[in-house]
Chains A and B, each alone.
Chain A
Amino acid sequence: MLDSILVANRGEIACRVLRTARAMGLRTVAVYHHADRAAPHVGLADSAVELHAEVPTAAYLDVAQIIAAADHTGAASVHPGYGFLAENGDFAAAVEDAGLVFVGPQPEVIRLMGDKVHARAFAAEAGVPLAPSALMEGSFEAFLDAAAGIGLPLLIKAAAGGGGKGMSIVHDAAELEARARTAMSEAERYFADGRVYAERYVEQPRHIEVQVLGDGRGNVVHLFERECSVQRRFQKIVEEAPAATLPAELRARICDAAVKLAARANYRNAGTVEFILAPDGEFYFLEMNTRLQVEHPVTEMVCGIDLVEAQLRLAGGEGLPWTQDALSVTGHAIECRVCCEDPARDFLPATGRARVLRVPHGPGVRFDGGISEGQAVTAAFDSMIGKLVCRGDDRGQAIDRAVAALGDLTLLGVDHNIDYLARVIDHPAFRAGALHTGFVTEHADTLGVPVLDADARAAVVIAAALGVDDFRRLAYDIPEPYASIGAWRN
């Protein structure tokens, strides 16, 4: 068992990992950039080390400083969270080279799955279904021919990309070449690797992923699927476990495919295999994420387990905590990603200060937050500031609880998507489970900010006015008999 851990991350995931680590009795170390000095994760660890960098995000990408911090504090292990260095094989290797335990898969597996072209080839070998695709193995022209042969529409993706970044959909053969060239230069710019590949684009697909846990010796269990179909610009907004609707047989095939893939890689620790599910019931491998995912709590809530605890035990040398038979899904859980963005301005990230933050509670309600009340929300970091996860005995109850909890969640001082999320999950199409990755676009008209009638507008304005001291004084501090006489003229 590990005795100490450094969490190389920030925000809600750092808080979440630290909580479980503390509960397990580990000595905990947090790292933070100066911009995060008031952030909650700093106070949740036994000790904290400041990382130095001009740009705040760069601090959390600074391999040398992080390893030095672990060394300096005597932390025996490092948890990378998600994002930042979580899927950086070099980081994992550096951690292990430093004699520390990396809470995650082997560096070579990280690298394998990080290269989308290699990952696809590996999946094909594992017998996992793949969407028709074209790789850039020869000339650019040969690639274009092969891509054209996939059929339209198709998706051009960066080989070194992931998480929805660096992708574009091509609907028209005429734009294929131009798009391919743009994608290559973008890939070069963002991922330092200009390789791209093309893949059949499934219209109105659903995004189904499977949580897996491996012991690094070929034993893998799955913790069933999650559905993450509600997305915008390839970023997930709402996730749930289990999938909204899925025939048992199809579920079994998808989960088995995931296990097959992970087992073939001798996968170690936690990971997620992502699939595209087409309307016709065909499913295709998308990618494997060799880390804990943002939406892992929905799995935890329906399986009744703590994935971070499982990760830490596996990293500590223990075997898999459960056999496949011991795992089952009870009830339904929904997660909403709470982001500081302005729904009225195409969800552009918003900045401000979380002047008031009140978190909901109740049966089946869980909020994994990453900011404290009073903390500034800046453009330095990702706009997601927390996740609201609600569990119910069935999907309907989970949605009801989530709608209520979103209503109880109060964040004032920075624009956010909380009200929007409530409209999404309360939408009849969502409740009916009619999900696909174009959901928010399809229902954009009905998901917009509701138009208020005159009385509703007046209520908002009145509520606001009573927050202005000058107005309040005029309303309440007029002395008698003037207040009682009122607007009288003789």
Chain B
Amino acid sequence: MARIQSSIQTGSAEFRRHYSHNRALAAELHERQRQARFERPARDVERLARQGKMMPRERIEKLLDPGTPFLEFSTLAANMAYGGEAPGASCITGIGMIQGREVILCAHDASIKGGAWYPLSVKKIVRCLDIAIENRLPVVHLCDSAGGFLPLQSELFPDKHMAGRMFRNQSILSKMGVKQLALVFGHCTAGGAYIPALSDYSVIVRGTGAVFLGGPPLVKAATGEVVTADELGGCDLHTRVSGTCDYPAASEDEAIAIGREIVAQWDCPPKWDIQRDPIEAPYYDPDELYGIIPDDIKRSFEMREVIARLVDGSRFHEYQPAYGTTLVCGYANLWGYKVGILANNGVLFNDSALKGAHFIELCNQNDTPLVFLQNITGYMVGRDYEAAGISKDGAKMIMAQVGSHVPKFTVMCHGSFGAGNYGMCGRAYDGRLLFSWPNHQIGVMGGEQAAKTLTEVKLKQLERAGDAVDQATLDKVYNETLEAYQHQLSAYYSTSEVWDDGILDPLDTRNALGIGISAALNAPPLERGYGVFRF
């Protein structure tokens, strides 16, 4: 496999302009993540300390194997919701390593509103359990939650993928034979009581841990019984009398030590063995990614330069290099794993869609995981293209992608607009993990295009109605549309809504994908077979 020949001019004005722009975006990302992870009101920090509790991240750090990575999902979930009251949606999820085993961690953050679940908390937790199911990853629950955030109960309780889905997912994991451990550091109230109850193993901390379907206030309201949390559902009741929890712990440190020892007992089922070579770092400096990504969502860039800074040795075996050139397809190694990469170098045409579909089939034939690097404004539109069957060709690409039995991963590198999102494995298409870059924007169409379109629509409206066309009205429509779109197009909005599994600093992409691929191989291949390709 030959190394990609980079033609980036790192000294050029354009490179330098892009570089400082993207460095600033990355710095902003890190700062916003830092705040979401670590800044808490003093009184909440003090309350936890008074209760003898650790902060949730301290629990995670002590639980994970030293010197190993933690791929955290959706750090900035809910960053644009609830007035910013619930950073991270008051929970921490991700993939980590405990005693050499890959696990999903799901921790409630009691330093935010007692760990109460907002609607986006539920969505984030359901998502991490979906990841556990799809990848057959054992789960460690770090329980410390006041339960559902009642003022928003209608958005987190009744529907199919709301709170009940957490416990349905736990039951499915169990049915699949995937292990779950619950470490009860605080309250498991109402539905939350099901977390340890549905887990295979549970550890509970004496004095602070409690499990009850109804907490003391509810019990008092319902029956008049006055009882403390500890009496109602504390450590000793559940480890000696009810059998709901398995191991009593006198301290959080002991609970964590017991938890690690439990995980050490778990066997490691064999993983799907795909092609692997020795690991090699990229030849080109990944730092140069900052200079490659444009500072304007409408400008495109050469995806091969991005690939060169993600893959082992910067080596890439390109498929159909002369055909369908707006979609770059080829094989590379990523952390030693062979992967098939599809990356957008422009809009999708008939030929690029067909090339994509065929390459996806080749990767499935070869048991090679797929990595989609998106920068797509859509498929080519126009009569000639329709006549040539571009709708069919786009459909074939979607059909191939959906029929894949290999794991799929998606990185939103820049724009993801319209139907191009679909063929390139957008959120709806069951990629194992989907990440965005800070510069990413997603929408049915770009902001300016939408503003122009809606201004055009308004103009037509006014003309049909025979009203005077007032430039100020048109400008207002344009600006308001643009502003609304800008708000909802940004990566921060989509990550807030948990439309992705997190925003990554581009430099972190390689590590995130490496961990993702490794984790995905805990699950066997999906069922083979495609639907009907409309030829």
Contact = CB atoms under 8 A, between A and B. Distances in A.
A72 interface: no
Nearest to A488: B69
B67 A487 contact: yes
Q: How large is the interface on A (under 10, 10 to 19, 20 to 34, 35 or more residues)?
A: 10 to 19
A481 B72 contact: no
B72 A485 contact: no
A486 B67 contact: yes
Interface in A431-490: 470, 473-474, 477-490
Interface in B88-121: 97, 99-100, 102
Given A474-B99, A484-B279, A484-B335, A490 B511 contact: yes
B424 interface: no
B502 A490 contact: yes
Given A474-B65, A487-B69, A490-B502, A481 B335 contact: yes
Contacts of B279: 480-481, 484
B70 interface: yes
B71 interface: yes
Given A490-B504, A490-B505, A482 B518 contact: yes
Contacts of B75: 490
B66 A474 contact: yes
A485 B512 CA distance: 10
A487 B99 CA distance: 15
Nearest to A486: B67
Contact of A488 (B65, B102, B511): B511
Contacts of A487: 66-69
Residue among B65, B69, B99, B508 with most chain A CB within 10 A: B69
Contacts, number: 65
A488 B515 CA distance: 11
B264 interface: yes
A478 B515 contact: no
A196 B65 CA distance: 69
Contacts of B335: 480-481, 484-485
A139 B75 CA distance: 97
Interface in B408-463: none
Interface string B255-281: 000000000100000000000000100
Given A487-B69, A490-B72, A474 B502 contact: no
B100 A481 contact: no
A483 to B, nearest CB: 8
A470 B264 contact: yes
Given A487-B68, A489-B72, A490-B71, A482 B515 contact: yes
Contact of B511 (A474, A480, A485): A485
A489 B72 CA distance: 7
Contact of B100 (A477, A484, A489, A490): A477
B330 interface: no
Given A487-B68, A487-B69, A490-B505, A478 B511 contact: no
B324 interface: no
B65 A479 contact: no
Contact of B70 (A470, A478, A489): A489
B508 A490 contact: yes
Interface string A406-443: 00000000000000000000000000000000000000
B514 A485 contact: yes
Interface in B228-256: none
A186 to B, nearest CB: 52
B70 A481 contact: no
Nearest to B281: A484
Contacts of B102: 482
Interface residues of B, number: 26
B389 interface: no
A481 B504 CA distance: 18
B214 interface: no
Nearest to B29: A490
Contact of A485 (B65, B505, B515): B515
B518 to A, nearest CB: 6
Contacts of A479: 100, 518
Contacts of A480: 279, 335-336, 518
B262 to A, nearest CB: 13
Interface string B340-374: 00000000000000000000000000000000000
Contacts of B72: 489-490
Given A488-B511, A490-B504, A478 B69 contact: no
A473 B98 CA distance: 11
B512 A478 contact: no
Nearest to B264: A470
A268 to B, nearest CB: 69
Nearest to B276: A480
A478 B512 CA distance: 17
A482 B280 CA distance: 14
B101 to A, nearest CB: 9
A490 B516 CA distance: 13
A479 B522 CA distance: 13
B336 A478 contact: no
B505 A473 contact: no
A489 B100 CA distance: 17
A64 B266 CA distance: 61
Contacts of B511: 481, 485, 488, 490
Contact of B68 (A473, A482, A490): A482
Nearest to B101: A479
Nearest to B509: A490
B512 A490 contact: yes
A481 B518 contact: yes
Given A490-B505, A490-B508, A481 B514 contact: yes
A8 to B, nearest CB: 53
Contact of B69 (A470, A474, A477, A482): A482
Interface string A195-239: 000000000000000000000000000000000000000000000
A412 to B, nearest CB: 27
A478 B68 contact: yes
Contacts of A473: 99-100
B226 to A, nearest CB: 45
A489 B99 contact: no
B514 A486 contact: no
A279 B518 CA distance: 79
B253 to A, nearest CB: 16
A477 B65 CA distance: 11
Contacts of A483: 68
A478 B502 CA distance: 25
Interface string B118-135: 000000000000000000
Given A489-B69, A490-B71, A481 B336 contact: yes
Nearest to B335: A481
Interface string B480-517: 00000000000000000000001011001001101100
Interface of A: 470, 473-474, 477-490
Given A481-B514, A482-B69, A484-B279, 4 more contacts: A482-B515, A487-B69, A489-B70, A490-B75
13 contacts: A470-B264, A474-B66, A478-B67, A478-B100, A480-B279, A481-B279, A481-B514, A481-B515, A482-B68, A484-B335, A485-B335, A485-B515, A486-B68
Interface of B: 65-72, 75, 97, 99-100, 102, 264, 279, 335-336, 502, 504-505, 508, 511-512, 514-515, 518
Nearest first, the 5 A-B pairs at minimum CB distance are A481-B335, A488-B69, A481-B514, A485-B69, A490-B508
